Amino acid sequence: MSDMPPQPSADTPLPTGSSSTVPDRPAPGRRWIVVAAVALAAMLVGALATAATLFAIRDDQPQPRHRYEVRVRLDLAATAEQKAVVESALSTRYPADAIRTESRDEAYERFKELFKDQPDLLDAVRPDSLPESLLVVTVGRLFDCAALVAVEGMPGVDGIVVRQLAAVGRPDAVLLNCP
């Protein structure tokens, strides 16, 4: 015979203190769970690092602030009471001292300046054909158009125009699609 020790059969248990024991490994079916957990942990760490970086950048750099002009055109037949109600509604959103009235004469002067190169148009328009308006100039990073939806539907209001006013690097005003 040979000098080799006998091989244990499938029914023979291996000795517990033997050097021939196999180290513990996750079962092949569970290996994907471990990989998925590690990947998820890595994604969470990456997301937290990105968020922290973005907040640090945001705090270090001043946010751009824009000037916006809100022009609430009143109906030609708007009553003083309707105008007062509209002005009151605006004062809940903007400081009351920031709201000013543009008369029909002031609107006509502004119209003449805007259309000075179109004499036929200037001849067709008179001060009494332009509406009185309530004006507000406000400053902020973004403009909240939703705040004007209720005002637009009020009696005495003909329409609302919101412009982002000209600024350094942007010489023209931009009309916003509000409300």
Rounded to a whole number, what is the distance in angstroms from the first to the last CA of the chain? Answer: 99
- State residue 60's pLDDT score: 55
- pLDDT per residue as tens, the chain (179 positions): 556 666 655 555 555 555 555 556 656 667 777 777 777 777 877 777 676 666 655 555 566 788 899 999 999 999 999 999 999 999 998 888 899 999 999 999 999 998 999 989 988 998 889 999 999 999 888 888 888 999 999 999 999 999 998 877 666 778 888 87
The structure's pTM equals 0.60
- State residue 166's pLDDT score: 83
- State residue 57's pLDDT score: 56
- State residue 81's pLDDT score: 97
Alpha carbon 177 to its chain centroid, in Å, reads 14
- State residue 44's pLDDT score: 79
Identify which of 65, 64, 66 has the alpha carbon closest to the alpha carbon of residue 176: 66
Identify which of 70, 81, 95, 75 has the alpha carbon closest to the alpha carbon of residue 149: 70
Q: Residue 142's CB: how many other CB atoms inside 10 A?
A: 11
Rounded Cα distance between 18 and 21, Å, is: 6
